[in-house]
């Protein structure tokens, strides 16, 4: 890939053949499952949350990273004196409008205005459940850097983000902001906020390296051999933040199953697995809590440590032995 001027258009692709579209016959089967399936795609009761105010985000400064999962792929990471927010989506719907589209299965643990000062907004790709206009515009501060894959800069500029604060990277490029180095890594996915801009921007995972710890944020991806290459170049990682939900046999190339997420974690030479991309939006045909149950079962078979707090709870890597079954209702 060639570095392009901010705002330029290009077409990006995966490093191996990847099926994104499904057939008309499959579409009919999917619609039948949506209308007549027996899956419990929404929780029966209220999902437990830890609600946060701006004051409650203040935590003691330690060498160990702290994590606050705000739902789906939105994670607040405190690391090496830096505050990083991944794939910020705190709106009610993952949609171009607030009137229709996938709605949250639980409230956001805080409003965007309750967040602490954000040093870096880190974005994996441009899909609505990973890049939300209202949330991004509310984060538009002179002190916040936006680190994004190639092509997303033009979207942020349209939303009022100053060009000097937008840092577009292609795979294997890195940038150091404060005490952390962020490296864009290959992923197996696709982009597009509509039919006309499919593949017009890049998708990526991210290595987040500080003086004492290394993290990997997977964004959204299917399984591929590139995880081992990422580990060879940038690992090992103290923790991997990987998507485990919204999978289906109809789009298996672009989303990890829970078992594949565990396998990817091991490929990445990860210490603790932190699951993401589940239990917030109903975007697939499985039970709403199935991803985490399957992930924990697969992790136990391979003796992989998992950290899966409820939305809003602040945790660090040493908390992984205290997971409670918060999702069962």
Question: Each residue of 156-183: pLDDT tens digit?
Answer: 999 999 999 999 999 999 999 999 999 9
Question: Each residue of 262-319: pLDDT tens digit?
Answer: 999 999 999 999 999 999 999 999 999 999 999 999 999 999 999 999 999 999 998 8
**Residue 106 backbone phi and psi in degrees, to 5:** -150, 160
pTM score: 0.94
43-76 core/surface letters (b: 16 or more CB in 10 A; e: else) = beeebebbebeeebbeeeeeeebbbbbbbbbbbb
Question: Each residue of 11-23: pLDDT tens digit?
Answer: 899 999 998 877 7
Confidence of residue 9 (pLDDT cuts 50, 70, 90): low
Q: Ranked by mean pLDDT, which of 41-45, 70-74, 101-105 comes out on top?
A: 70-74
Which of 54-68, 112-126, 220-234 is the least confident region?
Answer: 54-68
Question: Each residue of 290-299: pLDDT tens digit?
Answer: 999 999 999 9
Beta strands in the chain (DSSP E): 66-69, 75-79, 82-86, 120-122, 145-149, 166-169, 174-177, 180-185, 205-209, 214-217, 237-243, 270-276, 305-306, 314-316
């Amino acid at each position: 890939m060639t570095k392009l001027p901010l705002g330029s258009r290009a077409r990006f692709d995966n490093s191996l053949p990847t099926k994104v579209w499904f057939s008309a016959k499959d579409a009919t089967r999917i619609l039948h499952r949506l209308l007549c399936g027996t899956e419990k795609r929404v929780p029966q009761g209220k999902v437990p949350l830890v609600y946060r105010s701006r004051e409650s985000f203040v935590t003691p400064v330690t060498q160990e990273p702290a994590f606050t999962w705000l739902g789906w792929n939105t994670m607040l990471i405190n690391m090496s004196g830096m505050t990083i927010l991944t794939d910020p989506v705190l709106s009610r719907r993952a949609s171009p409008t607030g009137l229709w589209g996938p709605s949250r299965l639980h409230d956001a643990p805080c409003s965007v205005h309750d967040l602490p000062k954000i040093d870096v907004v880190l974005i994996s790709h441009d899909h609505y459940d990973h890049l939300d206009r209202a949330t991004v515009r509310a984060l538009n501060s002179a002190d916040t850097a936006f680190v994004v894959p190639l092509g997303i800069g033009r979207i942020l500029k349209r939303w009022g983000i100053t060009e000097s604060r937008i840092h577009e990277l292609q795979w294997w490029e890195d940038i150091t902001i404060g005490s952390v180095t962020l490296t864009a890594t290959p992923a197996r996915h696709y982009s597009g906020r509509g039919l006309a801009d499919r593949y017009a921007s890049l998708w990526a995972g991210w290595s987040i390296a500080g003086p004492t710890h290394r993290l990997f944020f997977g964004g959204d991806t299917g399984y591929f051999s590139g995880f081992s290459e990422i580990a060879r170049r940038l690992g090992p990682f103290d923790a991997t933040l990987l998507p485990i939900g919204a999978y289906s046999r109809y789009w298996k190339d672009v989303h990890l199953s829970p078992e594949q997420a565990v396998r990817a974690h091991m490929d990445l030479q990860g210490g603790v697995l932190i699951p993401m991309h589940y239990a917030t939006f109903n975007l697939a045909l499985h039970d709403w809590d199935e991803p985490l149950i399957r992930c924990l079962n697969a992790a136990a078979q391979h003796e992989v440590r998992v950290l899966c707090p409820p939305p809003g709870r602040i945790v660090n890597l040493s908390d992984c032995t205290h997971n409670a079954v918060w999702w069962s209702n």
